[in-house]
Amino acid sequence: MASEVEYESILCVKPDVNVYRIPPRASNRGYRAADWKLDTPDWTGRMRITAKGKVAYIKLEDKVSGELFAQAPVQEFPGIAVETVGDSSRYFVLRIQDDSGRNAFIGVGFGDRGDSFDFNVALQDHFKWVKQENEIKSSEGSDSGPKLDLGFKEGQTITLNIGQGKKRDKPRPQSSGGLGLLPPPPGGKIAPPPPSNHNTVQPSGGAQPECLLELDSSNSNIVVQSNISSDLWGDFSSSASTVPPPASHQEPSSENWVQF
């Protein structure tokens, strides 16, 4: 499998930078820019910071021709490749490296504090991205281990109980008309009919005839008498025969016409 191609990207460009030869560090107290000859820099040119993969490169180039003067590869920041000085924020010490691998330390400085700030931020952002890439790869490596097999085996089944946790209400019984039926009164007997009104025709002799009064559909005052073979009121027929007719009712005529 072919390796991935790494492209070089530009992180920052500063048109003016001064380079100084610095004396060897005599103690562990760090570098000081005051020990350099700041008024007479040894070289002046352009700084360009690039990145290829995870490595950043600080390149010192000629302003006109772009010819490379020195290069400092940076694999971590902060680190030995780029060090700050103890007495100024505009000066740094770079560890440059040639093609044969030889190293040397030089001092660089910016005339403006904003340029030195951009120089710091460009390196910090790049290595922040490098850190995130390393974390992502490490997490992917931990997930590459054996995983649990949660699939169904051959012949394996599963049972689901859906809707059995709730009890359904039983439907109320309804009549053919959609209304509920009332329970029968105690004793199982039907209440007697109400007293007859003035539209009821009583025969002479004291006994009530078994008849139904119906009004004609033409809204006339015709009373139709129909005989019913069976007793309509059940056990109340015997008591109804002994009740005397009201005195205010008229005797029935020979015809079935009643004057209202």
Can you give the residue range of the structural domain that contains 252? 198-260
Q: Identify whether residues 202 and 135 lie together within a single domain.
A: no
Residue 173 lies in a domain: no
pLDDT computed for residue 197 by the predictor: 53
| pTM score over 0.95 | no
Please report, for the domain that includes residue 41, its CATH number: 2.30.29.30
Question: What string of DSSP letters covers 148-201?
Answer: ---SPPTT-------S-SSPPPPPPP--TTS-PPPPPPTTS-PPPPPPP-TTPP
Q: Identify whether residues 124 and 228 lie together within a single domain.
A: no
Cα–Cα distance measured from residue 120 to residue 51, given in angstroms and rounded to the nearest whole number: 14
DSSP helix/strand/coil, 100: coil
Q: Identify whether residues 12 and 105 lie together within a single domain.
A: yes
pLDDT computed for residue 154 by the predictor: 73
Among residues 124, 139, 154, the one where a domain terminates is: 139
Q: Identify whether residues 13 and 135 lie together within a single domain.
A: yes
Q: Identify whether residues 114 and 206 lie together within a single domain.
A: no
pLDDT computed for residue 156 by the predictor: 74
Q: Give the CA dihedral 197, 201, 204, 207, nearest 10 degrees.
A: -70
pLDDT per residue as tens, the chain (260 positions)? 445 677 889 999 999 999 999 988 777 778 899 989 999 999 999 999 999 999 999 999 999 999 999 999 999 998 999 999 989 999 999 999 998 889 999 999 999 999 999 999 999 999 999 999 888 888 876 655 566 666 767 777 777 777 655 555 555 555 555 555 566 666 555 566 666 555 544 544 454 544 444 444 444 444 444 454 455 545 544 544 455 555 554 555 445 555 54
Alpha carbon separation from 120 to 15, 84, 92, 200, 238 (Å, rounded): 16, 10, 10, 117, 121
- Both structure tokens of 56: 């950043």
pLDDT computed for residue 257 by the predictor: 52
Number of domains the chain contains:
2
